[in-house]
Each structure stands twice: as C-alpha cells, then as structure tokens.
Chain A
Amino acid sequence: MKGYSAFSLVRNALGGHRFWKPVWRTPELKKSYDVVIIGAGGHGLSTAYYLAKKHGIRNVAVLEKGFIGGGNTGRNTQVTRSNYFWPQSAAFFDHALKLYENLGRDINFNVMLSQRGVLNLAHSHHELETMRRWANAIRINGIDSELMTPAQIKKLIPLVNLDARFPVYGGFIQPRGGISRHDAVAWGYARAADALGVDIIQQCEVTEFEIANGKVTGVETTRGKIAAKQVSIAVAGNTSVLAAKAGFRVPVTSMALQAMVSEPIKPCLDTMFTSPVIHMYVSQSDRGEIVFGAGADTYTSYAQRGGIPVLEENVAALLELIPAFSRLRLMRQWAGIVDITPDTTPIMGKTPVQNLYISGGWGTGGYKAIPAGGDTMAHTIARDEPHPLIADFGLERFESGALIDEGGASGVAH
C-alpha cells in the first residue's frame, strides 16, 4: 500500500491526478478461507482489518452483496459519541471514540473526525433533572460531559430558537463527540485491510450456510461455495434473514430510519445537537449541507426508503428549533434498514452455531461503534471467546435477563 502524504498529494496534483492507482484489489474468489466475514460495511471491514493487523489472521474474505460501504455505513448521519449511561455501553463506545481519535493515522486515511461536541437539549425542568443524572453518570463512567445553561447554548448555537413550543431549559454536551466522514471510514478500512491481504469480494451474496454437526463449515454464495473455518455476520438490517438461514432467531426488528440533507450553505452550525423531545438531531457537514434525521418508521421494513409522515415530522422538528432553515431546500432524503433490539444494545459474540459469530442489533447507532466493533469482534473470532468489552452483549442475555437498557440513555430512542 502506497501511503498518502502531503508529498504524494502534491506529486499527483502536479501530474494532473492521472497516476493514482486503485486503492484496493479486485481479487479472485478462493475456494476456502480461514475466516469469512459477511458484509463489507464498517463493521465487517474493520473486523477484517483488526484480524489481520492484531491477530495475524490474513486469509480472510469479506463478502458483500452490493458494494463497499453501500448499506448503513453510507446512510447514517456520521455522529460519533460515547455519552452512554450504563458502564458496559460507556466503556465499549468510548473505546470506539478513542480508536476514532487516532484512526486517520492508524489506517493512513483521513476520516475527517471533527470533535465539535454533541449537545442534548432538555425542554422541561424534569427532563433537565434526568439529563443531570445522565450527564453525571457519564462522568462517573470516566467520559467528558458538561451541563449547559440556555445562555451557553445560545452562545454555542446562535441560530437556535430557545422559545420553541417546548422551550429549551438547558442541556449537556459531550465535547469529544462529533462527526466524521462515513465513506472515508469504510474506504479507509477497506484499503488498510486489503493491504494486509484481506480479499474484499463485492457483488457476492451469501445464500446459505454449510453447517455440519452444529458447526459452520462454509457458505454458499451467488458466486459458488466457499469453505471457511469461521464465519462472522455483520449485515445490519438483514441480520434476521441470515440468522434464519443458520437456524437461529435473533430478537431484532428491522425498520427504516431516514435522514436527509439540505442544499449546502456557509458555515453556521459548528456543533452537533439533538433534542430527544422535539425529536431530531442535526449537524452541518464539511460541504455545508445541513444533515438531519430523527425517528424510524414504526413498522417492520426492508424497503430502503422512509415514509413521508416521518420525513414531515423531521422537517417540522428542525424548523421548530432553527426557524432560519425554513428557507433551505432539501437536496436528498434516504433511509437505511436498522436492526433494533429490545434493550437497544447490540448483539455481539458467539451464536448457537459453533464458529459462527454475529455483530448486529446496532439499531440506529452502529456507525459510532465501528472501530470498537471491529476490534472486539476480531478478538472474539481469533480466540473463540468474547472480548471483555462485549462479554455482556451476547445473545444469551435475553435468556438470563441481564439486559443493558440504553433506551433512555441514547439521546434518541434507539
């Protein structure tokens, strides 16, 4: 892999950008691999990267039915934060944020992390009290979080309307939270994994599992059979579909979560903020677009498009908090299929099938977890035992009852 540097940029610019090489191979599919990962989104690619880098397992294929990062990795609103209530979630998501903080250097790809702060607004005294408790829990978890008064919020976001239908009483911010460029995360991990020998196979859909004596031995795909010692599933909204093929059930409901962007405008919003009550979150991208979204459609859906009623609610909520945006035109709207679990905590680790692993149930918050998801799943696959950070995230928690209910602690209801 040729590293990117200021020098390489200048040299290629002077060459009229005619000499850039493809940044990953298009390899031939082999008959067998040590590890097959299903899904070339952020989680699948980062798992492959850390397997190769930290565990020396390089005979790995990442199978993707579409294209790299074309699912939820390319459809989210790029928010990175670790302001979680429960210690297990906080430790896991802060591990992700710490990895994000050095990711550009680690994979030699600029993921454009911008730690502009993630602010939650409270719209009543009661909500502010709950947020105070939440913000303090985050601090006890060793993560940055600060309460803010309405005056401080107004200073941070001059455009915000504090006297909305539900007035702003205050809020709290995680200053280290922010946004990064989601395509860069997918591409960066793909390039780095490819350089370590991982085969990324696009346009290759897994249709069946080969299972003998309760142990997975390979997969059937639209491009033929592939033998594998270990298989890992990282397919977001399609988790139930693949689990059913492997003969077990997962407690997830797949729903369409939508987001949208406005036309680009000059910088006017240099933080990311969210309102759980008025229900929306918004940030401004580096290109100047206003990026926002809110709730999922409330029924099972595999259609990657959102309903008009939810779109209308999203827009109404945004305009309630920033009326000035009413003059903007919406440029694009889309949806991703999110797999929501009963306790809104992901499902990670082993499955009832031996040597078959799962990373799913990410709901509406998988993007922020990508580096930690890959790191801990690589450990889990390499040692056939869950990484300590995800020991409580296994499927067995639904039977034991040890749920990690983050429903109230995630800013929006995911």
Chain B
Amino acid sequence: MIRIPCPYCGTRDEVEFHCGGDAHIVRPGPEVSDAEWADYLFNRENPRGVHYERWCHVFGCGQWFNVARDTVTHKFHAVYRMGDPAPELDQ
C-alpha cells in the first residue's frame, strides 16, 4: 500500500487517489510537425527512478497536485502545486 501525502489533507492510503501521469507535458502549437505532435500525444516520461507526476485526491478533497515519486521504491521526494515547476532534488 502506497501512502500518499496530499498537500491539503495529509497522508492517506493510495486507494483514495487517482494517478494522472506525467506532470509537465506542454501542448505544442499547430505549427509543429507530425513527429513532434506524436511525441506530445503518445510519448511519456517513463523513468526508472524519480518521476514527476500528477495525482488527484479523488475520494478526499478532490484536489490535483504534483509529486516527485521514485518508481522503484515508491518514495515521495517532493509534493508541489499544479503549475509550479518541477523541484530540483539532491540525489
């Protein structure tokens, strides 16, 4: 069971949350090539290590937030607001 630190409610069990995937995708403009558009549509960060991703506390406050989570250990290194840049982590 992962315990997720909701910045609004505190730490809760993973069953209360929904993972929204990759946190910092920027939608490109209409001028981009097919390859760049495909990259935006389909390619996701999929690191073995720290992943910056969105979570929603669906069965709680209903708020979205960002986290930096390790995909091997499931350790949460940082929790930050939607719209904030990804934090620098010392590793």
Tell me the A residues contacting B by CB distance below 8 Å: 238, 240-241, 249-254, 298-303, 307-309, 342, 398-400
Contacts and interface: CB of A to CB of B under 8 A. Distances in A.
A300 B51 contact: yes
Nearest to A243: B46
A253 B44 contact: yes
Contacts of B47: 240-241, 300
B15 interface: yes
B11 interface: no
B35 A240 contact: no
Interface residues of B, number: 26
A301 B74 contact: yes
Contact of A253 (B14, B46, B48, B74): B46
Interface in B19-65: 19, 21, 34-35, 38-39, 41-44, 46-48, 51, 53
Contacts of A342: 41-42
Contacts of B53: 299-300
Given A398-B38, A399-B34, A301 B46 contact: no
A359 B35 CA distance: 21
10 contacts: A241-B47, A249-B39, A254-B71, A299-B69, A300-B51, A301-B72, A301-B74, A303-B72, A398-B38, A400-B34
A399 B35 contact: yes
A300 B53 CA distance: 9
B5 to A, nearest CB: 15
> Of residues B13, B34, B53, B74, which shows the largest number of chain A Cβ atoms within 10 Å of its Cβ?
B74
Contacts of B2: 307
Contact of A298 (B18, B34, B71): B18
A97 B51 CA distance: 38
A249 B38 CA distance: 11
Contacts of A302: 48, 71-72
Given A240-B48, A251-B43, A252-B46, 19 more contacts: A241-B47, A241-B48, A249-B43, A251-B44, A253-B21, A253-B46, A254-B48, A300-B47, A301-B71, A302-B71, A303-B73, A307-B2, A308-B1, A309-B13, A309-B14, A398-B41, A399-B34, A399-B35, A399-B38
Contact of B71 (A249, A250, A252, A300): A300
A70 to B, nearest CB: 17
A253 B35 CA distance: 19
Question: Which A-B residue pairs are the 7 nearest by beta carbons?
Answer: A251-B42, A299-B19, A240-B46, A399-B38, A249-B43, A302-B48, A398-B38
Secondary structure at the A interface, as helix, strand, loop or mixed, is mixed
Nearest to A304: B72
A316 B19 CA distance: 23
Contact of B15 (A249, A300, A301, A309): A309
Secondary structure at the B interface, as helix, strand, loop or mixed, is mixed
> Of residues B14, B34, B39, which shows the largest number of chain A Cβ atoms within 10 Å of its Cβ?
B14
Contacts of A241: 47-48
Contacts of A240: 46-48
A241 B45 CA distance: 10
A251 B42 CA distance: 5
Contacts of B38: 398-399
A399 B1 CA distance: 38
A65 to B, nearest CB: 12
Nearest to A238: B48
B71 A303 contact: yes
Contacts of B43: 249-251, 398
A307 B41 contact: no
B34 A307 contact: no
B1 A307 contact: yes
A71 to B, nearest CB: 14
A339 to B, nearest CB: 8
A88 B71 CA distance: 34
Interface string B57-86: 000000000000101111000000000000
B59 to A, nearest CB: 12
A26 B47 CA distance: 33
B19 A398 contact: no
A308 B3 CA distance: 12
Contacts of A298: 18-19
Nearest to B20: A299
Contacts of B42: 251, 342, 398
Contacts of A398: 38, 41-43
B46 A300 contact: yes
Contact of A303 (B15, B44, B74): B74
Contacts of B71: 254, 300-303
